[in-house]
Amino acid sequence: MTVMEAIGRRFSVRKFKPYEIEDDRLERVLEAARLAPSARNLQEWRFVVVREPRMRAALAEASNGQGFVGEAPAVIVACATSTEHVMSCGLHCFPIDVSIAMAYMTLAAAEEELGTCWIGAFNADKVKELLGIPEGVIVVGLLPIGYPDAEAPSKTRLAMDEIVMPERWRD
Q: What is the pLDDT at residue 83?
A: 83
Instruction: Please say if the pLDDT value at position 8 is more than 90.
Output: no
Q: How confident is the model at residue 60 (pLDDT cuts 50, 70, 90)?
A: very high
Alpha helices by DSSP H, listed for the chain, are 3-9, 23-34, 53-62, 67-71, 93-111, 124-131, 160-163
Q: What is the pLDDT at residue 84?
A: 87
Instruction: Please say if the pLDDT value at position 11 is more than 90.
Output: no
Q: What is the pLDDT at residue 171?
A: 82
Instruction: Please say if the pLDDT value at position 1 is more than 90.
Output: no
Class of domain 3-149 (CATH, top level): alpha beta
Alpha-carbon span 111 to 102, nearest angstrom: 14
Mean pLDDT on 78-106: 94
Element of type H or E holding 47: strand 45-50
Q: What is the pLDDT at residue 7?
A: 87
Q: What is the pLDDT at residue 82?
A: 86
Burial class (CB in 10 A: 0-12, 13-18, 19+), 43: middle
Residue of 159, 137, 146 lying closest to 45 (CA atoms):
137
Q: How confident is the model at residue 148 (pLDDT cuts 50, 70, 90)?
A: very high
User: What's the Rg (C-alpha) of the chain?
Assistant: 17
Q: How confident is the model at residue 94 (pLDDT cuts 50, 70, 90)?
A: very high
Q: What is the mean pLDDT of the chain?
A: 95
Q: Which residues contact 147 (CB under 8 A, 6 or more apart)?
A: 16, 17, 19, 21, 73, 113, 114, 115
Q: What is the pLDDT at residue 169?
A: 94
